[in-house]
Structure 1
Amino acid sequence: MEESRGNLYLIPCTLGDTSPLEVLPLLVKKAIEHINHYVVEHEKTARRFIKNVDPKKSQPDLEFQLINKFTNELEIPQMLTPCFEGKDVGVISDAGCPGIADPGAMLVAEAHRNNIKVVPLVGPSSILLAMMASGFNGQNFAFNGYLPIDKRERKTEIKKLEKLSLDKDQSQLFIETPYRNNQMLESLMASLHDDTQVCVACDITLPTEYIKTLPVKLWKKTKVDLNKRPTLFIIQR
């Protein structure tokens, strides 16, 4: 008879310096209370998050394995070792939901291959929250990650996404490194048609949250400083 296996819990965390229980359901706290094995992007960040959710949790009892963009596929299977021993494992990214524009997908795929139950918990996803607040087509949208850094290549990509949005009635989402956000907004203003709608969703769920949708011609008259603030951009033509 096959021994009972632990579950793989996908645990969302806050999108910034917000009290966890203001944006996370009680189920996340309950999961953290009983899980001691974690796969995370950064141990220090994860420990701080866990302490904020459950201050009484014994930190010395916690075990961490790291997963990030440099993780090799061959390293993935051993991350599930506790599950084969009947213990639950939690996956925590640095912000938002594991596996959605964050590490975790490879581990989830490996869990499915090994008949390990995957349990996604409810929490903030900047992509979904931005789409909800944009007023754009929530029936058909695409997340494109980072656009090219080179100005010419970036302009070409922006115009390509604008055409795709028009042809398919598809909202196009993307992000930028926070210290280049202002340059990205300038690139959008210089590359897009005046009537193309742009949503800027910044500091989502934080006290400084800023979400606004305007056509390009009005964005050109709007002043906003996005420097070093986590931001999602969405365009729809």
Structure 2
Amino acid sequence: MSAPATPLGRLFLVPAPLDFGCDSNTALEEVMPMGTLKVAAELSHWICENAKSTRAYLKRVDVLVPLLTPIQSQQITELPRQVHKKGDHLGDFDAKPLLAAALQGHDVGLVSEAGMPAVADPGSSVVRAAHTLGLRVVPLIGPVSLLLALAASGLNGQNFAFVGYLPQDSAERCKRIRELETLAIRTRQTQLFIETPYRNTALLQALLQTLQAQTRLAISSGLTLATAKSRSATVSQWKKNTEGPGNSTPAVFAIGP
């Protein structure tokens, strides 16, 4: 009689606070559900965007819910660098080898530097691989900057699209902005996008130069933190007060009629 097969582990999608592991005046328990922290404390195998920030996050968790496995004994594997640069949503990266521990019966956590992994962050290849391998995928509750920004925008939350990053080239960026504005006006679909923090101001200026005066522009930054900002106004109103998120904080931009 053959021995029973080892039960498969699960893949937990573990959100992280939106402060990118930085010191914050906002306590972890104020932005992360205790249930999520308890699950994180029980895990000892991780796939992550950045090992350093993952360890910092686990140290914060340990203060509230003692880790079952010391941080120095945690098995933490970073996604390859090319996944960060190219993104892993195109399906050309095989993440199945990263889930070897789950095939051996260990639960595995997937975590990004901030927010929900695989949403505007690397990790979709790991989730896809887990489904292929027959693993149970369990998304946990926590902050998702895109949805928080959308809710705070006053724009259409019934029909929206996240379009990632806009082109860096000035002419291509303006062309893309016009395309998105035309789509938003024609379909009343809110268009969400992000930018590398140090280009926030340049993007804001391009938006104000390109969008129509009556188009509504919403920008949110530092959400869930003491420094959180959300502003939603028409382009004509923005031009009277162009104070934006600055170039040091990640921000979510949204446009719509």
Distance in 1, matches of 2:190 and 2:38, equals 36
Long gaps (5+) in structure 2:
none
**TM-score after normalising by structure 2:** 0.88
Task: Determine if contact 1:13/1:20 at 8 Å carries over to the other structure.
Answer: no
Is it true that 1:151 corresponds to 2:170 in the alignment?
Answer: yes
Other-structure match for 2:13 = 10
Task: Determine if contact 2:94/2:129 at 8 Å carries over to the other structure.
Answer: no
Q: Aligned-residue CA RMSD in angstroms?
A: 1.5
* 1:172-199 deviations in Å (ceiling 9; x for gaps): 0111111111111111110010000000
Aligned-partner SS, 2:76: strand
Is it true that 1:191 corresponds to 2:210 in the alignment?
Answer: yes
The counterpart of 1:62, out of the listed 49, 57, 74, is: 74
Alignment of 1:126-165 (within 5 A): 126-165=145-184
Is it true that 1:172 corresponds to 2:191 in the alignment?
Answer: yes
**TM-score after normalising by structure 1:** 0.96
Segments of 4+ in structure 1 off by > 3 A?
Answer: 71-75
Give, as a single letter, the amino acid of the residue that structure 2 aligns with 1:4.
P
Give the share of equivalent positions with the same residue, in percent: 38
Distance in 1, matches of 2:242 and 2:16, equals 31
Other-structure match for 1:34 = 42
Give, as a single letter, the amino acid of the residue that structure 2 aligns with 1:42.
N
Other-structure match for 1:236 = 256
Is it true that 1:48 corresponds to 2:68 in the alignment?
Answer: no
Other-structure match for 1:218 = 237
Between Structure 1 and Structure 2, how many residues are aligned? Answer: 237
Q: How far does residue 84 in structure 1 lie from its aligned partner after superposition?
A: 1.1
Task: Determine if contact 1:32/1:54 at 8 Å carries over to the other structure.
Answer: no
The counterpart of 1:85, out of the listed 76, 80, 104, is: 104
Q: How far does residue 83 in structure 1 lie from its aligned partner after superposition?
A: 0.8
Distance in 1, matches of 2:30 and 2:93, equals 38
Distance in 1, matches of 2:218 and 2:118, equals 24
